[in-house]
Amino acid sequence: MIPENVKSEAGNIRELIRYHNRLYYSEDRIEISDSEYDALMRRLIELESRWPKLATDDSPTQRVGSQPLSRFPSILWDPAMLSLDNVFSAEEFSEFNRRIIRELDLEEDPAYSVEPKLDGLAVALIYRNGVLVKAGTRGDGSEGEDVTPNVRTLRSIPLKLTSDPPVDLVVRGEVIFRKTDFEKMNEYRESLGLEPFINPRNAASGSLRQLDSRITASRPLSFIAYGTARWPEGIASQHSLFNLLAELGIPVNPDNFLCRGVDEVEKAYHRLEENRADLPWEIDGVVIKLDEASLQERMGALSRSPRWAAAWKFEAEEAVTQLIDIEIQVGRTGRLTPVARLEPVFVGGVTIANATLHNEDELHRKDARPGDTVIVRRAGDVIPEVVRSLGRPDEKRGKRFEFPRSCPVCDGPVAREEEASAHRCMNPSCPAKLRESLFHWGSRDALDIEGLGSKLAEQLVDKDMVNDVSDLYNLTLPQLASLDRMGDKSADNLIRELGKSLTSNLQRFITGLGIPGIGRTVAGLLSTRFSDLHELMNADVDEFLAVEGIGPVLADNLHRFFSEKITRDVLSRLIDAGFKPRGSGASDLEKPLSGLTVVFTGGISLPRSEARIMAEKAGAKVTGSISARTDIVVAGPGAGEKLRKARELGLEIISEDEFLRRIN
């Protein structure tokens, strides 16, 4: 029996979370901090975990995602989700307006709804009795992809409408990234050493169309409604439809205009064009619709587009300027990004003096060189970028920019991972990436130093207590106790943890160095091949190539890391601090999964990172794809394509329970 006070508390927290979601996604307002919001969510999860019957299908806790799908089911649309015809000027819209007046035999200009044209992915939400039951992408207009599990993870979409009595409704809208959310997500991806997304539109489409809805749940997507499949009862205009959707808790765009006649529509178009840089999301034009439902129905539709609406796109936000120089910026994960220094130019409401060139491949594809005339733009991107080079009028161009082989911040070696576009500094003590290096050094996959989190790493660097990874082992109790949120007990615990880490094996030590392309799996292979750090530091390229799974690029990167002075000096200081990491060597032969390649698929109860660590400790190599070289497939409920392929190849397939039995 659930106590009444618990029911009441859970209900109040749900309403609070829905209220704050509505404020953020519908009104662009915030009343509480992220930490306060997270505290509410943690408390609700705690209550629902303790009393499972408290959990409801529309609870905010149900937005975490579910097991991966093997493919998206189809979903049919009736009426079809049509695309829009375009007008390209005020004159063309005037002709559009005259045609409507003529065909409908109107005595005056009709009212139009002028709405920002969002640059995202079109989606429809199906509500039955006020509850979200299905959602799908536009597809070809008649048939889309059923992405219901993914859509349910979006905080901006209500799982239950605030209507009494409950309504049946098919809501249509756009899935997008807010500019601030897109920037934060890219910062987080870079902190993990991942490639940042280039533009919000493509990122939104890719994020919503993930077969694993847990990936979608991790990305801060938003939804903005622009209409319904059919007119709700009692609604006679686009304007009143938006009011109804907002009352139901569905986000609508606050920058819609109700206009009459060509002049008012043109003013609304230019107003949105002028203000687009200040809007919270990317737009690339306006959508103009007849406001009255009866007039829309009389105009009807063609096979692919309605005759009562048109899209009027903005002129591309591009400008021509001179590329003065190309410089390299080093991010906090050690990623090297080429940046164009420009003759300042006004684009899209702001003056641009710098623009990204993304990476070496993009730089060479665009063939941008100092002294060139270049086109820059902001459309579709949060940060300005160079679109292409127009060369020089005198055709006397400078040399092609060559990516540096050493870091411009610390002069350490730079590596480009195999089949990747990013270059990264390999020096774990590089000042540009030291915070992230310390955090990674203490992470669970690496040295597993409890208490060495990102906030502490930031303080240690900011207060100049640590300028090199080895400096961690010179920290004193008074130094640590003086930091924020660190008393004597926490400081003492951390010093003990640091002392324990000195006995770490070679696999953890290599992982902690953060060498590009070297995770736990490859580090495990190296620790099996080399007996200790001294042998590893003196290996040549051929010895690295002899390790299974290491190709020429990675072998060269490893050799450079262990042979160049700056990185060898870092290793020497760690050895002086007390490290003597040894490889696993022949002892791996005694491990239960020694030499076997394992793949996990489907829904297993263990977190994947934990399952991987357990398998590696048992001597296995863990990969993400099935091939003829795979030895064992650990399959859980919901396993799809990988399980099918494993059966076709005749591989050994075992359950999670059998996996645990074998390693124990």
Label residue 411 left, alpha or beta by phi (over 0 means left) and psi (-120 to 50 means alpha).
left
Q: What element of type H or E holds 7?
A: helix 4-27
**Secondary structure of residue 257 in the 3-state scheme:** strand
Give Cα separations from 191 to 34, 187, 194, 422 (angstroms).
19, 6, 7, 14
SS3 content of the chain, % helix, strand, coil (to 5): 40, 20, 40
Q: What 3-state DSSP class applies to 617? A: helix
* Residue 401 DSSP label: P
Q: Which of 117, 289, 366, 642 is catalytic?
A: 117
CB 423 within 8 A of CB 360: yes
SS3 486: coil
Two structure tokens written together for 240: 């009143």
The CA-to-CA distance between both ends of the chain, in Å, stands at: 39
- DSSP letter at 308 equals S
Which amino acid, 236? A
CB–CB of 59/18 below 8 Å?
no
- Beta-carbon contacts of 38 under 8 Å, excluding residues fewer than 6 positions away, are none
Please check whether residue 549 is in contact with residue 525, taking contact to mean a CB–CB distance below 8 angstroms: yes
CB-based contact 306:327 (threshold 8 Å): no
- R_g over Cα of the chain: 29
Let me know if 117 is a catalytic residue.
Answer: yes
Half-sphere exposure of 121 (CA within 13 A, CB side): 26
Give the C-alpha separation, 180 to 228, whole Å: 28
Q: Partners of 574 in the beta sheet?
A: none
Residues sharing a CB contact under 8 Å with residue 84, sequence separation 6 or more, in sequence order = 287, 305, 306, 309, 310, 311
- 111 vs 503: CA distance, rounded Å: 76
Name which of 557, 550, 84 is nearest 301 in CA terms.
84
**How far apart are alpha carbons 356 and 378 in whole angstroms?**
11
For residue 255, give the 3-state DSSP assignment.
coil
- Non-local (6+) Cβ contacts of 297 within 8 A are none
Q: In what order do the strands lie in the sheet with 222-228?
A: 131-137, 121-128, 169-176, 222-228
Distance between CA atoms of residues 171 and 135, nearest Å: 9
Strands 597-601 and 621-623: parallel
Residue type at 25?
Answer: Y
3-state secondary structure of 429: coil
For residue 474, the one-letter residue type is N
Q: At residue 412, what are phi and psi to the nearest 5 degrees?
A: -75, 165
Question: Which positions ≥6 away from 3 have C-beta within 8 Å?
Answer: none
H or E stretch including 375? strand 373-377
Peptide bond into 220 cis (omega under 30): no
Map tokens 């999860």 to a residue.
45
Q: Which residues are catalytic?
A: 117
